[in-house]
Amino acid sequence: MKALNLQTYLVYAIYIVRTNPAILGFLAAFGLINGATVFFPEGGFLQLINTLTILAAIFISPVIYGIYYEIVEEKYSSIPNIFRTYVGGYLLVLFSMYIPIIMTTAVLMSAMQGGTNTGAIMLTILLFSMLFIYVIPTYYISGQILGSIAFGVRFFITNILSSAPLLLMALSSELLLLLSHFQLEGVRESAPALFVALDFSLYMLASIIDFILFIMLIYILKNEDLEPR
C-alpha cells in the first residue's frame, strides 16, 4: 500500500461523499433530531424519541456503508435490498468483535477496582477498533462474518506501518464521538442551544471522516485477494 495510492483513494472518497449530498442530508436531519431532544420535557414522549433514535442509529451506519460500497462497485441497489444484504451480517460482525472485548474488560476492571470503569472500557474498545479498521470493509466485500475478522486483523498486522494515516483518521473520528458523549453534559444543562450546535457539529464531522475512511478502505481491499460476495 503506497502513500500515492492512499492520496488517490482519499481524493476518490472525498469525491464520492461530496457528490452524494442526500446521504449527508439525511444524516444531518437525524443528528439535529437527536440533539434537539434536549428541548423536550421529561416524560414518556422523550423516552420514546430517545428509544427510536437509538434503534435508528443501530441501522443507519450499515445502510450508509452499503450505499457507499455499492456506489464504489456501481451496483446502486434499493435501500430495502441494501438493508437485507448488509445489515444483519454487519451486526453479527460487530457482536463477534466487541462483545468478548467488552465482557473481558468489564470483568477485569471489576476484579481490580471493585467496579466497572466506563472510561477504561471505552478506551479499550477504542484501541481494539484501531485493530479492526479493515474488518467491516472486508465484510462488505466478501460477505463473510468470522472470515472478515480474521482477514481484516491479519491485513492490518502485515500493513501496520502503511496504515498509520488511516489509523489517525479512525482515531480522530472515534475521539470526536467520545468528546461529544462525555464532555458536553455540562453545556447541555447550561446552554442547550450551544449543546445542540456542538453535538451536531462533532457528530457530522466524525461521520464524514468515518465515511471517507470506509471508502478508502474499500478501494484498498478491492486490490487484495478477496472473494466477493
Read off the pTM: 0.86
For residue 168, the model assigns a pLDDT of 92
The verdict on residue 229 lying in a domain is no
The verdict on residue 47 lying in a domain is yes
For residue 152, the model assigns a pLDDT of 94
Give the number of domains in the chain. Answer: 1
The verdict on residue 168 lying in a domain is yes
Q: Which of 195, 160, 199 is nearest to 180 (CA)?
A: 199
The verdict on residue 127 lying in a domain is yes
For residue 181, the model assigns a pLDDT of 67
For residue 19, the model assigns a pLDDT of 97
The verdict on residue 228 lying in a domain is no
- Sequential DSSP letters for 22-60: HHHHHHHHHHHHHHHGGGSPSSHHHHHHHHHHHHHHHHH
Q: Split the chain (229 residues) into runs of 10 and give each run's mean pLDDT.
A: 75 97 93 77 71 82 96 93 96 88 70 58 71 93 94 92 92 82 68 83 93 96 83
Q: Which range of residues forms the domain containing residue 151?
A: 3-222
The verdict on residue 196 lying in a domain is yes
The verdict on residue 227 lying in a domain is no
The verdict on residue 130 lying in a domain is yes
